[in-house]
């Protein structure tokens, strides 16, 4: 028997998250030596906020990123996004407490039994719940918390981790993007441009229904294909 038959082909593995962050940070730092620098003038905005004058762009002297700035870019980014990071840690800690107490396992077991015969119905229910939460409070980053919570349930119902990730990501992204009553990407932007806050809600509601329906369709389609393969 030839030796080649004993050689196993190595499968591609996604690099560690820190490696990915390092690569993107390095590319961004290198690009500062080639991309011209520019800036907009800051002007007073509504409710004491600072806004940008879109007609005030001008080129300025480039200031390429040095080694010290590059090595500290991640901790400085965590400081600048401290509110979101801290909020995510709180939510993650809350779910960890629930998991430690066994509540999540009980809920997963009951939902698995409840939807054992119609497991496919759980996909639109969870997707819509996540979408409504994101479209009202504007927290798409919570999808990273939802995935490990619902994954045991989805796998227990006979699907794979891709279905669990799709439910959380599609729901939160669609909800945040359409922003029916989202105070972040809709309320704040409408205040800045000076139009009635949350105006045009009818159009956003239609987009929400259309986008979430399309997302649910493709998730359910993939889930059914996966079950047939098994």
Mean pLDDT calculated for residue range 188-208: 84
Gap between the Cα atoms of 180 and 216, Å rounded:
18
**Looking at the predicted structure, is the pLDDT value of residue 16 above 90?**
no
Spell out the domain ranges in the chain.
13-80, 82-230
Contact (CB, 8 A) for 161 and 219: no
What pLDDT does 215 receive?
95
Q: Which helix (H) or strand (E) holds 209?
A: helix 201-229
**pLDDT tens column, 132-147:** 888 887 777 777 778 8
Instruction: Provide the sign of the torsion angle of the four alpha carbons 77, 43, 182, 215, taken in this order.
Output: negative
What pLDDT does 212 receive?
96
**pLDDT tens column, 64-118:** 888 888 888 888 888 887 776 776 677 667 767 876 887 767 776 787 778 778 8
Contact (CB, 8 A) for 211 and 135: no
Window from 87-96, 124-133, 141-150, 161-170 with minimum mean pLDDT? 87-96
**Looking at the predicted structure, is the pLDDT value of residue 11 above 80?**
no
User: Average per-residue pLDDT in the chain?
Assistant: 82
Mean pLDDT calculated for residue range 149-163: 87
Gap between the Cα atoms of 30 and 66, Å rounded:
10
**pLDDT tens column, 180-191:** 888 778 877 777
**Looking at the predicted structure, is the pLDDT value of residue 7 above 70?**
no
Mean pLDDT calculated for residue range 53-61: 86
CA-based radius of gyration for the chain: 23
Mean pLDDT calculated for residue range 208-216: 96
What pLDDT does 205 receive?
93
């Amino acid at each position: 028997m030839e030796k080649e038959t004993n050689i196993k082909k190595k499968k591609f593995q996604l690099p560690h998250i820190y490696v990915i962050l390092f690569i993107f940070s390095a590319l961004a730092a290198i690009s500062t030596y080639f991309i011209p620098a520019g800036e907009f003038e800051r002007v007073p905005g509504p409710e004491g906020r600072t806004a940008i004058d879109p007609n005030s762009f001008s080129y300025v002297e480039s200031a390429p990123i040095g080694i010290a700035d590059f090595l500290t870019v991640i901790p400085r980014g965590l400081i600048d996004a401290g509110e979101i990071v801290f909020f995510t840690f709180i939510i993650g800690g809350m779910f960890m407490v629930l998991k430690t107490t066994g509540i999540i396992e009980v809920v997963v077991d009951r939902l698995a039994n409840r939807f054992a015969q119609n497991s496919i119905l759980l996909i639109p229910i969870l997707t819509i719940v996540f979408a409504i939460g994101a479209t009202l409070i504007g927290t798409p980053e919570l999808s990273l918390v939802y995935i490990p919570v619902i994954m045991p349930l989805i796998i227990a119902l006979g699907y794979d981790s891709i279905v669990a990730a799709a439910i959380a990501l599609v729901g939160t992204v669609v909800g945040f993007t359409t922003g029916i009553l989202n105070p972040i990407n809709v309320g704040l932007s409408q205040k800045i441009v000076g139009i009635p806050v949350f105006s045009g809600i009818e159009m956003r509601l239609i987009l929400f229904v259309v986008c979430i329906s399309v997302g649910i369709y493709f998730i359910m389609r993939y889930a059914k294909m996966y079950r047939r393969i098994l």
